[in-house]
């Protein structure tokens, strides 16, 4: 019984996605860069400014939903605004876990990037 | 929203109906805000289409299995409804005819009146049966998927009524294109009765399931 439970725990662990996708990571950093005014449009603007490509708002919200589920960001509803048809903005900010995650990811990525320029791809020596 | 263009109103309506439920109101507001800054219809359309795509993906990810299950159950219920109705239609018309023949021996009414009465009783029995079975099916389908009950029921009602509606229209078009052949009203009314009874039954059953489910509705995801 215990052994089978253990197997299920391993399976669960294997199916859990522990790392963020590239878009999720970009949205996480977009929230950080936008600061107190981090909402859908401003986050998309931050990403567009760096990637020079258009970003669909729906994809930003899909990423924010997953980040919020993982406890990396938290949301707060603002006041309704006339230019948005009387709809309120939802502001996001990083939680302590979110801040920790981006710091750790940055360190890992920096270590991985170190010296990569010097390595020639196979067959291009 | 008073000054909103027709395109913005359409975009709002599409997003409210099809976008992912997660922060939908904020998303609609963001799309409108970005459109008012850019004033580019193509961008608005792109944003709306992307939101619809992500909305569908969200639903599949969250409720895919139960949604497919509900549709399969609806399809099975539809087959049961259709097959049982065919058998009931024959028995009802035969039973009504026998009943009328027995009544005719002492009623003293004419043959045409009695035939009409037999047909009416047959149609009423048939409609009652279809309505009853559709009501049960609608109830079951409505209970199977609480989050998307309305979509499942609409799909189910259209699915159940579609073949009969097509056949009824076919009879009507045939008659209108060649009226000299003469009008055999029975198949037309048979199919129309089936379609109407199925739609009413499914939606009625669905509304009953909605009342029952309201007591312990799960949180909207």
Q: Are A30 and A43 in contact (CB under 8 A)?
A: yes
Chain B residue closest to A57 (CA)?
Answer: B47
Q: What element of type H or E holds A76?
A: strand A73-81
DSSP state of A89: E
User: pLDDT digits over B78-126, tens only?
Assistant: 777 778 777 777 777 677 667 666 666 655 556 667 677 777 777 787 7
Chain A residue closest to B12 (CA)?
Answer: A85
Distance from CA of B39 to the nearest CA of A (A): 13
Q: Are B134 and B142 in contact (CB under 8 A)?
A: no
Chain B residue closest to A65 (CA)?
Answer: B22
The predicted model scores a pTM of 0.54
ipTM passes above 0.85: no
The residue among A85, A91, A92 with the most chain B CBs within 10 A of its CB, best to mutate, is: A85
Token digits for B108?
């003293």
User: pLDDT digits over A68-112, tens only?
Assistant: 988 999 999 998 888 788 889 999 999 999 999 999 988 988 888
Give the residue-averaged pLDDT of B30-40. 85
Q: How many CA atoms lie within 13 A of B90 on its CB side?
A: 5
Integer Cα distance of B204 and B161 in angstroms: 14
């Amino acid at each position: 019984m215990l052994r089978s439970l253990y197997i299920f725990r391993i399976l669960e662990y294997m199916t859990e996605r522990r790392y963020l996708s590239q878009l999720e990571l970009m949205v996480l950093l977009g929230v950080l860069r936008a600061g107190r005014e981090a909402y859908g449009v401003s986050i998309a603007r931050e990403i567009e400014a760096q990637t020079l490509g258009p970003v669909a708002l729906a994809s930003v919200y899909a990423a924010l939903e997953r980040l919020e589920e993982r406890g990396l960001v938290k949301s707060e509803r603002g006041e309704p605004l006339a230019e948005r048809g009387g709809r309120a903005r939802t502001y996001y900010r990083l939680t302590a876990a979110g801040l920790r995650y981006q710091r750790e990811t940055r360190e890992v990525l920096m270590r991985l990037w170190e010296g990569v320029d010097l390595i020639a791809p196979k067959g291009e020596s | 929203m008073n000054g909103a263009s027709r395109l913005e109103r359409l975009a709002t309506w599409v997003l409210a109906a099809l976008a992912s439920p997660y922060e939908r109101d904020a998303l609609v507001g963001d799309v409108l805000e970005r459109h008012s800054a850019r004033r580019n219809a193509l961008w608005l359309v792109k944003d709306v289409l992307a939101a619809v795509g992500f909305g569908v993906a969200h639903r599949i990810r969250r409720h895919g299995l139960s949604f497919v299950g509900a549709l399969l159950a609806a399809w099975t219920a539809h087959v049961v409804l259709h097959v049982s109705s065919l058998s009931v239609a024959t028995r009802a018309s035969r039973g009504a005819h026998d009943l009328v023949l027995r009544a005719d021996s002492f009623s003293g009414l004419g043959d045409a009146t009695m035939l009409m009465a037999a047909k009416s009783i047959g149609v009423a029995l048939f409609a009652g049966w279809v309505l009853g079975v559709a009501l049960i099916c609608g109830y079951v389908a409505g209970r199977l998927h609480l989050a998307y009950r309305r979509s499942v029921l609409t799909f189910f009602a259209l699915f159940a009524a579609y073949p009969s509606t097509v056949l009824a229209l076919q009879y009507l078009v045939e008659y209108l294109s060649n009226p000299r052949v003469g009008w055999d009203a029975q198949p037309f009314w048979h199919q129309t009765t089936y379609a109407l009874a199925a739609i009413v039954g499914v939606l009625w059953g669905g509304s009953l399931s909605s009342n029952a489910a309201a007591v312990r509705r799960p949180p909207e995801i």
